[in-house]
Homo-oligomer: A and B are copies of this chain.
Amino acid sequence: MGEVVLTPLEYALLGLLEMAPSSGYDVKKVFDNTPLAHFSSSPGAIYPALKRLAKKGLLEATLDTTTEARPRRVFSLTGAGRQALLEWLHQQVSEDELVRDGRSPMLRFALAEGHLSPDEVVAYLEGLGRVVRAYLQKLYAHREDVKGIEQLHPRLALEDGIRGYEAMAGWVDFAIAGIKAHGARD
């Protein structure tokens, strides 16, 4: 029904809690100790986001009063939460998403395991590859435009962008091969 639209942090939370029901503090540790470190681990971001998701009916909380002194509030996905996650996982990457929020496409890929079929994953990556190469064409054109100008730093900074997206394009092919090999292995 309702076109749920969430922030990257909220989708990250849904994905993590779908992998394993957790407390806010568990999530904080993930953000502190893994390459998901670009998400803020501040309680002022995490706890309100969990609360919002619960209020929207995407998460449910159970009190864990077993061993600990202070009760842990353990969150897991509801049916609606799983559906919102799935809808997001099925979204293709747009150029806007790639440029504005460079890490969302990779987050979505990382959290897609077990929720998309190998074919769907390959299609997602192929779409990502197309968007990356299309954006690269724009950067190449821009490099031509600034070829003559005297300023060195902007040209070098552009070169960094180009190399970064070229690396991503190469990774896409690598990842597709990895997915296919993994699928064939069954």
A residues apposed to B, CB below 8 Å: 34-35, 37-38, 40, 99-100, 102, 106-107, 109-113, 121, 139, 142, 151-154, 156-161, 163-164, 166-168, 170-171, 174-175, 178-179, 182
Q: How far is the CA of A113 from the CA of B154 in the complex (A)?
A: 8
Partner of A160, one of B156, B163, B175: B175
Q: Select from chain B the residue with minimum beta-carbon distance to A158.
A: B35
Q: How many identical chains are in the complex?
A: 2
- CB pair A156–B37 under 8 Å, yes or no, is no
Known interface pairs A113-B152, A178-B152. Does A160 touch B106 (Cβ–Cβ under 8 Å)? yes
Pull 26 A–B residue pairs with CB atoms less than 8 Å apart, ordered by A.
A34-B142, A35-B142, A35-B157, A35-B158, A37-B99, A37-B100, A38-B100, A38-B102, A40-B100, A106-B157, A109-B153, A110-B153, A112-B153, A113-B152, A113-B153, A113-B154, A121-B153, A152-B178, A156-B174, A156-B175, A156-B178, A163-B168, A163-B170, A163-B171, A164-B167, A164-B168
